[in-house]
Amino acid sequence: MSVLKTENITMKFGGLTAVKDFNLELNQNEIVALIGPNGAGKTTAFNMITGVYRPTTGSIIYNGQRIAGLKPDAITRLGLARTFQNIRLFKELSVLDNVFIANHLHLNSNIFEATFRLPRYRREKREKLQRSEFLIEKLGLKEFMNEKSSSLPYGLQRRLEIARALATDPKILLLDEPAAGMNPKETDDLTAFIKEIRDEFDLTIFMIEHHMHLVMGISDRIYVLDHGVTIAEGNPYEIQNDPRVIEAYLGVSEDAED
């Protein structure tokens, strides 16, 4: 069953077309990867889906609803959460606060109830705190709960970003280079972990990734972008054997990155 579909979304910056006619379809509980050389327009595609950019043309349909042009917060509220390529944590805040803040969007209490700690807020806060602690533990960050998020090592910061995204209670999780900066062992762990959270939280996952090992081992389907154009689409086996992909991408993949 398709949960997200983009129809010919195109993004132009001035005279430059960053992404052209991108057609994506995500089915329930799939893990789909988006690959392509640097500057291919992958993050731009992400930014259109999550509302950071409004597509120049084309539409995005999520569970039957057109979402192109909605603000990022509205899109997150509908159930699409993301991480960032160049980690965007709330640096001065603690690990717990980072995750707790991502619960804020589902808070029903108004600012008055919250400030004066009225019963509804107290109940909601207790629930959200529990959920945050659960997610932090799930991601193995329990011992760092009260540390400033910027003091975590790089790999853990990436994990915290995933915990934070999960806290928004998404249906679709978009991961922008989750394995960037990780060593092979960590990357293997990540592979297992992504599958685990997909099953546990009933997610559909769409990710940008450069580590071919990870991508090929985990993805149900793969889209390949080059210069903003989709040059291939298919399962890992098809992609690995697609001459256009080999030409555009695989030849320069792993050692050129990071």
Site residues, another protein (CB under 8 A): 13, 43, 47, 50, 52, 71-74, 76-77, 81-82, 84, 88-94, 96-97, 100-107, 109, 111, 114-117, 121, 124-125, 128-129, 145-146, 164-165, 167-168
Identity of the residue, 174 or 182, whose beta carbon is nearer to another protein in the bound complex: 174
Q: How many residues does the chain have?
A: 258
Q: How far is the CB of 145 from another protein (least distance, A)?
A: 8
196/184 Cα distance (integer angstroms):
19
For the chain, give percent helix, strand, coil, nearest 5. 45, 25, 30
Identity of the residue, 6 or 168, whose beta carbon is nearer to another protein in the bound complex: 168
Q: How far is the CB of 185 from another protein (least distance, A)?
A: 28
Identity of the residue, 127 or 199, whose beta carbon is nearer to another protein in the bound complex: 127
Q: How far is the CB of 112 from another protein (least distance, A)?
A: 10
Three-state secondary structure call for residue 2:
strand
The owner of tokens 């597509």 is 55
Q: How far is the CB of 178 from another protein (least distance, A)?
A: 15
Please, which residues have CB within 8 angstroms of residue 127's CB and are 6 or more apart in sequence? none
Q: How far is the CB of 159 from another protein (least distance, A)?
A: 16
Q: How far is the CB of 62 from another protein (least distance, A)?
A: 15
Identity of the residue, 164 or 221, whose beta carbon is nearer to another protein in the bound complex: 164
| Residue 188 to residues 4, 143, 183, 208, Cα–Cα distance (Å) | 28, 23, 9, 16
48/75 Cα distance (integer angstroms):
11
| Residue 61 to residues 33, 175, 222, Cα–Cα distance (Å) | 19, 19, 19
Q: What are phi and psi of 18, to 5 degrees?
A: -80, -40
The owner of tokens 């619960």 is 103
Identity of the residue, 114 or 216, whose beta carbon is nearer to another protein in the bound complex: 114
Identity of the residue, 129 or 246, whose beta carbon is nearer to another protein in the bound complex: 129
